[in-house]
Structure 1
Amino acid sequence: MGPDIKEPLTLPCGLVLPNRLVKAAMAEGLADKGHLPGPRISRVYGEWAKGGWGALLTGNIQVDRESLDAWKQYADACQEYGTPAIAQICHPVRQSPRGAGEWGLCGQTIAPSEIPLHIGDGVAASIVRNVVFGSPKGMSQSDIDHVVGQFVNCARVLAQCVFSGVELHAAHGYLLSKHFLQSNTRHDQYGGSAGRRARIVLDIIQQIRNVVPATFCVGIKLNSADPSASDFEDTMSQIQLFGNAGVDFLEISGGSYEDPTTQSTAAREAFFLDFATQTRERLPNIVLLLTGGFRSREGIEAALKAGVCDLVGIGRPAVLRPDFPQLLIDKTYSDQEATVAFSKVPIPFLARLLQIRVLGGGAETEYFQGQIRRIVAGLATYAP
């Protein structure tokens, strides 16, 4: 039988999580001038810090930003009440729209292969893709070395700022996801076999370990895979490689900019659970964090007791109830009360008309960003 929700967990690096509930990463949309964290993001994480979580995962942090004072204040706000804060770090690759960050309107994004983003079918989707995202440049060895260095330096800076760890974002269509791990068309040392496609991630893990304290957590987030798919065995072998490289946990998730609407369907949530079960059976020693669809004490306890996962990631319910762990752990609340239920945000008419998937997923993101802004303003949140 698996653990109880309130049971602590010691990760391989020695970091102790006080319980099994992790506030999952979400797009907060609260960066200040210079794309840095400021008082607004510290305010909302201060609220989560009081909520009794086992750990807080930040929204994704792009690896090319550095300002020690700003990140130190962010880390302090997250960990004011003793909850470990793990910073999710990523590179947006071809999913970065023109003008975002430091790219500029005429800048060209990079990707493992020169494959443009697919955001939907039809002429309208193609026009939007070309205007908003453009086509990426295939990465040279120099580009790869530079990106590896960015990840390593970002982790080093965050460790100096006293974050408890980092999570490499290798899901949702970002640089380290399927473009390297699964479907890149390279013919060099980063393409071909499953192990060669995983090389950039393994290099990043090893080099991060060389520049951070031994107790600093290094996790990784991957998309789930269909056990019946032809590349499932490749995914399992890559997970084994990451485990051997010393990752402290593996988070299982799904979706991408190309198909974001799959992230919150009931079928997809069951898909995560099935993939986690398969991963647990094959690789029982890897710490698994399962994120997606959990809303209630009963559901979370069932997954933990069945041994399917070691940790449960909570996203949108954490926005509607920043003290969600207290609701679940406090047994004065019945199982019927210990839940946060809400409806799906409707897909905008324009997204359905133009067949542009990213707009559908954007409606969910925008709604919950609005609720996060209400927390910042000291207002009550409300469900869709």
Structure 2
Amino acid sequence: MTPQAVLSQPLTLRCGVPIKNRLFKSAMSEALGNRERAPTPELVRLYGAWADGGIGLCITGNVMIDRRALGEPGNVVIEDDRHMAELKAWAQAATRNHTQCWVQLNHPGKQSPKGLNKETVSPSAVPFRPEMQLLFATPRELTDAEIRDLIARYARAAGLVKQAGFTGVQIHGAHGYLVSQFLSPHHNRRTDEWGGSPEKRRRFVLEVYRAMRAAVGSDFPIGIKLNSADFQRGGFSEEESLDVIRALEAEGIDLVEISGGTYEAPAMTGVKQQPVKDSTRQREAYFLAFAEKARQAVKVPLVVTGGFRSIEGMAAAIESGAVDCVGLARALALETDLPNRLLAGQQPRYQVRPIKTGIRAIDNKGILEITWYTGQLKRIGRGEAPKPDESGLWVFIKMVGAQMGVGRKKKVTRVRAT
């Protein structure tokens, strides 16, 4: 088969839902929610562009389940039906052209910048490493009652997603957010029923899945984005990740997207990746070796996101049997019609490159990558073309300036209030 023929094959999930091709848009933070935490016309325009661009399965950027716990400014929050009209408009645009669009549901846990929320919470009160404590506060440990409330919030949000017209949901269980924190022995040092052993650490994600499944029924897809590992000393390991995938498959999960890393060790962006052999580099994907191990353990559809550069590399990953779909993210911030090009046998116009300022302390953190690509998504949402050559240093300067402006506004408000 030609590479484009491989990528054009449909895939039917275990719940019976068909995906029209093997191209999967992984979640990227858009930061396009309004002050009420509702979807905006810019989100509608952005997701309509991706739907028209030919993607088979599109995952939204992280949507929060609790407005008291934002991951970044501009998050959409789904707690109740107050913004159902806006959610339906977003879903209608995102699912046109027979596109599957799933909402990624998330809670940041401790991984939220200082000043964004009143407080941050986590399974345990474990601080960030010293050089990141200027940006991230030490969290408060969650109570048992709060944990159970969070599980209910995931389920309620999933039901609202289905009501809005989206075609599935994805649990964000990777990249150091709350579900990932529960799974990690570094972040989760509890000794109650929610921690203390691998079985207890994965209880939270299993309870979240069960509650969501009860809310949406058996024929509505639920997937998960899961770390292959945290890449932190004492963190979530590949062995534990495989056990979590086995447990989720037994529960009925429809698809597993494999990634890795946290804000402290951002392997998902390619930053601080360990040296690899030429043979591994030629296969392109960051986490394909782990996917091969997972494929030996489970039959649930698998996706790997990160590192794909060519149509041949994408097709080879699928033909190997290790994955069922190939995940694309940053490339789709540079060209929204990339899937149509790939399915026509054409190569990407642009190659994803590391975003650098030339300042090592900044370049080693994942936050610059997130900010740069979020800027591209905002351009598309405004109806403008992306800027693939935009300076990383300039984006960093604008980010700092914006934060300083917010700080000045807050200070003025406090002065006036007194």
Task: Give the corresponding residue for 2:120.
Answer: 109
SS in 2 for 1:176: helix
Task: Give the corresponding residue for 1:378.
Answer: 383
Task: Give the corresponding residue for 2:296.
Answer: 281
Question: Once the two structures are superposed, what CA deviation does each residue of 1:327-363 show, in whole Å capped at 9, x if it has no partner?
Answer: 11113x3xxx4563143211452xx3xx4677x3222
Matches within 5 A, 1:59-98: 59-64=61-66, 65-66=77-78, 67-98=83-114
Task: Give the corresponding residue for 1:225.
Answer: 229
155, 166, 169: which is aligned to 2:169?
Answer: 166
Whether the 8 Å CA contact 1:295–1:339 is kept in 2: the answer is no
CA drift of 1:82 comes to 1.8
Runs of 4+ in structure 1 off by over 6 angstroms are none
Matches within 5 A, 1:285-296: 285-296=299-310
Question: Once the two structures are superposed, what CA deviation does each residue of 1:288-332 show, in whole Å capped at 9, x if it has no partner?
Answer: 01101112201101101111100111011111111111111113x
Q: Where does the alignment leave 5 or more consecutive residues of structure 2 unmatched?
A: 67-76, 277-283, 390-418
Is 1:363 matched with 2:368?
yes
Cα gap change, 1:165/1:33 in structure 2, threshold over 3 Å: closer, same or farther? same
Whether the 8 Å CA contact 2:65–2:157 is kept in 1: the answer is yes
**Cα distance in 1 between the residues matched to 2:50 and 2:103:** 14
Is 1:12 matched with 2:14?
yes
**Cα distance in 1 between the residues matched to 2:362 and 2:123:** 24
Question: Once the two structures are superposed, what CA deviation does each residue of 1:182-231 show, in whole Å capped at 9, x if it has no partner?
Answer: 4311111111222211111111111111111322110011111399x994
Task: Give the corresponding residue for 1:138.
Answer: 141
Task: Give the corresponding residue for 2:54.
Answer: 52
Matches within 5 A, 1:188-337: 188-225=192-229, 231-260=237-266, 263-265=269-271, 267=274, 271-283=286-298, 285-331=299-345, 333=346, 337=347
Whether the 8 Å CA contact 2:103–2:168 is kept in 1: the answer is yes
CA drift of 1:261 comes to 6.0
CA drift of 1:134 comes to 2.0
Q: Structure 2: which amino acid aligns with 1:210?
A: A
**Cα distance in 2 between the residues matched to 1:345 and 1:241:** 37
**Cα distance in 1 between the residues matched to 2:382 and 2:115:** 29
**Cα distance in 2 between the residues matched to 1:364 and 1:98:** 19
TM-score, length basis structure 1: 0.87
Percent identical among aligned pairs is 36
RMSD value over aligned CA atoms? 2.4
Whether the 8 Å CA contact 1:112–1:138 is kept in 2: the answer is yes
Question: Once the two structures are superposed, what CA deviation does each residue of 1:165-187 show, in whole Å capped at 9, x if it has no partner?
Answer: 11100111100004434431111
Q: Structure 1: which amino acid aligns with 2:255?
A: F
CA drift of 1:98 comes to 3.4
Aligned residues, how many?
A: 360
**Cα distance in 2 between the residues matched to 1:233 and 1:366:** 32
**Cα distance in 1 between the residues matched to 2:23 and 2:350:** 14
Cα gap change, 1:255/1:234 in structure 2, threshold over 3 Å: closer, same or farther? closer
CA drift of 1:11 comes to 0.8
Q: Highest relative contact order (Cα 8 Å, sep 6+), 1 or 2?
A: 1
Is 1:29 matched with 2:67?
no
Cα gap change, 1:270/1:78 in structure 2, threshold over 3 Å: closer, same or farther? closer
Q: Where does the alignment leave 5 or more consecutive residues of structure 1 unmatched?
A: none
**Cα distance in 1 between the residues matched to 2:352 and 2:179:** 32
Cα gap change, 1:343/1:152 in structure 2, threshold over 3 Å: closer, same or farther? same
**Cα distance in 1 between the residues matched to 2:344 and 2:159:** 38
Cα gap change, 1:153/1:279 in structure 2, threshold over 3 Å: closer, same or farther? same
